[in-house]
Amino acid sequence: MKTARIRLYTPADWFGRAISWRLESRYCHAAIEMDDVVFSATYPHILMLPAGQEDVAQPPRGGAVFELQMTEAQFEATKHWCRARVGRDYDWLSIIGWLFRIESFQLRYGMYCFEFVLAALGAAGLLPVTKQFVSGDELVAMLLEHGATQVRPAAIMAGGSACDRSAA
């Protein structure tokens, strides 16, 4: 079995708090860590950064980490899916969709952070996946339902979030 870490970040500034307020979620950003690499859908593109160095692209932030056990095949399928999307556009149109609660406001090939994590885990059959609006709290509920466990945030949260300089 292998472990993926789902990082959920809490806001530390007005922009992050505005995102959390509109999403009705305590979280403003999400990323997935696999084999000491963090994949993050961050404006303007999906990124892949070494764990512990992701604050080069994003300011440091607090939050929570959930660990999800996977078979080797599920882990590799998830990691392959994430790597294949590095460099793709962030779904900036979904910001407007979230603001006005219009689900059709999404870029067809872009993704925002929570949607990216959900789809990555869905690629391995771990979570149901659709191109849908999903918030951090909804993602947590799905993770817990599928056997994820929360770990102590301070032990792992060295990195950052897009909450200050971009939409999450």
Sheet holding 45-50, edge to edge: 45-50, 37-42, 29-34, 2-9, 63-70, 149-151
Domains of the chain and CATH, by start? 2-156 (3.90.1720.10)
Kindly tell me the sign of the dihedral angle through the C-alpha atoms of 136, 140, 143, 149.
Answer: positive
For residue 70, name the pLDDT band (cuts at 50, 70, 90): very high
Comparing 28-37, 48-57, 84-93, the range with the smallest average pLDDT is 48-57
pLDDT in tens, 123-135: 888 887 765 778 8
pLDDT reading at 52 higher than 90? no
DSSP letter, residue 62: -
Integer angstrom CA distances of residue 70 from 29, 34, 98, 142, 160: 23, 11, 31, 15, 25
Give the Cα separation of 160 and 70 in Å (integer): 25
